[in-house]
């Protein structure tokens, strides 16, 4: 089939999951995209989520994990973060659809009279809307292959319309233009001392009952799957034996594409889609080097404390953790992260709890829970000379801490935490005054930021005058307090082009070696082969701090006369 403009129609890979949730369908889909790009293909990625929320923007991080924001301001599933990190696909709101958004679109059309009085049904109206959303992405980007991940688990009632839609697309596109990959579980039963294939058999049977016959199985397990078990799975699930791919737990997620490639997954895909002659080989040299550095960096290691509100579920800060890994690779270092619940950072002994870390990071969040602990961590970092990176809420709390303890504004606060504060250093976005709805009402997406010449921020970004970063915030720095904070040494090194928003704050380097906060989320734009410069600089500063501390300890141990580092003890404020 040909497009009107002469380009070849996109081919589709549909990725489903069975047995249990959280098997890693997003990572599997991302790894497939990585492999196909390594063969020279143009790839697009898409996620279809079965929940009724219009988007994940108002969902609890403890339930759903991180909300990933795209350049166009879409609040999306965290799997889109994996897609962007593993591939070069340009993603937007069009790449993530939920049941809620699909139904909302259909209902809005019905209200407008677009269906001309017809009875609106799941089939064909909902399924047609799903298919139209999938094909719209292919039309917009003209990829060679579009990978579509279906959220949830086969057998869930809410995912049935999506599964029916992709079943129909499989028939409409044709056997050589659409394939189905099923991610499933092969659990180890300790009492029996063996892996069991029955859950996979049942999951595939559920798929086949609704008309989808998977072409390839990705079998998650915590130990290797023997050749006999692979033959058994192939026999009972009606796939080729070489199409039963072992998806083992690995030391790093970035090793997954290599593991799949070594089992011939990408070769299977290009053969099934009749693309083998056009894209015969995969070049994974840079990816192998990346994995080698992650697993065995030659430069050493550092310890970073992340003091946050949602640390019980690490997926709440998924992009953040990966950005630190990327920065570690750039510096040839292993970044060891400790997750510290800010609510548990007590007033007594917090210095002792933080003194062994080479750098401190306070990430984003909402609400006043845990704020005192964040302020203590920031106070320690500022006064001890420990490298500090504050992101979104981490920048806002850095401004509050500085106002209270360096500028004498003891009651300084954010109106998010205290509407009656006498010194509202942080207040609600002026564009949102009077807006009470929560969904989609923040300052979202990519916005430009002008950098102050000669500042730490400008140095970090390689001397750039303007950068574009992704935002997700409802509160901002109050410019009325800019002069007060600047007088005591705070530098406002990044502002919006119109001067309305403060984007980056830092302390002058005669006061602190590395103390910087940003209103945006740099982690959203970090990739393993293109790490974000803010994280690269932060990790480098933490390493330099570690070296200073080790040199000091060596000097003390050898009885040399030394000046005590600020990190050893926190001096008085003045």
Q: Which residues belong to the active site? A: 392, 521, 523
Comparing C-alpha atoms, which of 188, 180, 171 is closest to residue 207?
A: 180
Angle (deg, nearest 10), helices 533-557 and 318-330: 70
The structure tokens listed for 226 are: 């023997």
Backbone angles phi, psi at 212, to 5 degrees: -110, 120
Residue 218 tokens read as 């990705």
The pair of structure tokens assigned to 217 is 């199985």
Beta carbons of 512 and 394 less than 8 angstroms apart: no
Q: Rounded to 5, what percent of the chain is helix, strand, coil?
A: 40, 20, 35
Q: Are 29 and 83 in contact (CB under 8 A)?
A: yes
d(CA 56, CA 76): 6
Nearest to 326 by CA among 425, 232, 253: 253
Residue recorded with tokens 């709805």: 437
CA distances from 224 to 186, 201, 204, 219 (A): 10, 18, 20, 10
Cβ atoms 187, 221 nearer than 8 A: yes
DSSP result, 161-176: HHHHHHHHHHHHH-TT
**Pair 331, 387: CB distance under 8 Å:** no
Interior angle at CA 455, CA 452 and CA 456, nearest 5: 130
Q: What is 490-518 written as a DSSP string?
A: EEEEEE-TTS-SEEEEEE-TTT-SSEEEE
* Tokens representing residue 505 in the block: 């704050």
Report helix, strand or coil for 234: helix
Sign of CA dihedral 343, 344, 347, 352: negative
E-assigned strand segments in 238-283: 244-248
Cα–Cα distance measured from residue 142 to residue 132, given in angstroms and rounded to the nearest whole number: 15
Give the DSSP per-residue string, 335-385: EEEEEEEGGG--SSSHHHHHTT-SEEEE----SSTTHHHHHHHHHHHHHHT
Would you state the structure tokens that stand for residue 561, as one six-digit string?
A: 């006369």
8 A C-beta contact, residue 401 and residue 378: yes
Q: Is 442 left (phi over 0), alpha (psi -120 to 50) or beta?
A: beta
The residue among 3, 84, 4 whose CA lies nearest residue 43 is: 84
Q: What 8-state DSSP symbol labels residue 557? A: H
């Amino acid at each position: 089939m040909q497009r009107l403009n002469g380009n070849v129609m996109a081919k589709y890979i549909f990725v489903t999951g069975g047995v249990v949730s959280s098997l890693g369908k997003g990572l599997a889909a991302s790894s497939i995209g990585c492999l196909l790009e390594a063969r020279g293909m143009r790839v697009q990625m898409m996620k279809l989520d079965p929940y009724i929320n219009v988007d994940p923007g108002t969902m609890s991080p403890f339930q759903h994990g991180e909300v990933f924001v795209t350049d166009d301001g879409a609040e999306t599933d965290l799997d889109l973060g994996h897609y962007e990190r593993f591939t070069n696909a340009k993603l937007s709101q069009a790449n993530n659809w939920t049941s809620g958004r699909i139904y909302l679109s259909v209902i809005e059309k019905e209200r407008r009279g677009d269906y001309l009085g017809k009875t609106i049904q799941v089939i064909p109206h909902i399924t047609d809307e799903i298919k139209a959303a999938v094909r719209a992405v292919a039309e917009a980007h003209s990829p060679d292959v579009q990978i579509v991940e279906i959220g949830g688990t086969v057998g869930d009632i809410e995912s049935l319309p999506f599964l029916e839609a992709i079943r129909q697309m499989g028939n409409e596109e044709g056997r050589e233009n659409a394939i189905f990959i099923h991610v499933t579980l092969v659990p180890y039963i300790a009492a029996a001392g063996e892996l069991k294939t029955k859950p996979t058999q049942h999951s595939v049977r559920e798929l086949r009952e609704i008309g989808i016959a998977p072409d390839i199985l990705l079998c998650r397990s915590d130990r290797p799957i023997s050749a006999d078990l692979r033959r058994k799975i192939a026999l009972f699930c009606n796939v080729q034996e070489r199409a039963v791919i072992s998806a083992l737990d690995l030391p790093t997620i970035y090793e997954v594409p290599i593991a799949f490639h070594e089992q011939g997954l990408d070769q299977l895909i290009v053969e099934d889609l009749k693309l083998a002659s056009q894209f015969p080989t995969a070049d994974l040299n840079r990816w192998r080097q990346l994995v080698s550095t992650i697993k065995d960096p030659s430069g050493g290691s550092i310890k970073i404390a992340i003091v946050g509100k949602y640390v019980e579920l690490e997926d709440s800060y998924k992009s953040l953790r990966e950005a630190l890994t990327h920065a570690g690779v750039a510096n040839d270092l292993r970044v060891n992260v400790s997750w510290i619940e800010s609510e548990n950072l007590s007033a007594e002994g917090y210095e002792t709890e933080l003194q062994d870390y080479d750098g401190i990071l306070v990430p984003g969040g909402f609400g006043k829970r845990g704020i005192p602990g964040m302020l203590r961590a920031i106070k320690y970092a500022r006064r001890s000379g420990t490298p500090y990176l504050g992101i979104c809420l981490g920048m806002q709390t850095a401004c509050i801490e500085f106002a209270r303890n360096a500028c004498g504004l003891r009651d300084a606060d954010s109106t998010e935490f205290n509407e009656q504060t006498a010194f509202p250093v942080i207040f609600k976005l002026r564009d949102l005054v009077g807006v009470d709805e929560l969904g989609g009402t923040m300052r979202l997406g990519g916005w430009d930021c002008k950098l102050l010449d000669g500042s730490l921020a400008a140095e970090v970004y390689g001397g750039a005058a303007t950068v574009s970063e992704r935002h997700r915030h409802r509160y901002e720095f109050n410019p009325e307090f800019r002069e007060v904070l600047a007088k005591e040494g705070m530098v406002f090194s990044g502002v919006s082009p119109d001067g309305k928003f403060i984007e980056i704050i830092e302390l002058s380097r005669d006061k602190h070696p590395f103390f910087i906060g940003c209103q945006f989320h740099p982690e959203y734009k970090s990739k393993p082969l293109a790490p974000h410069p803010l994280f690269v600089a932060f990790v480098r500063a933490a390493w330099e701090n570690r070296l200073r501390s080790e040199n000091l300890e060596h000097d003390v141990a050898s009885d040399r006369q030394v000046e005590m580092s600020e990190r050893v003890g926190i001096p008085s404020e003045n």
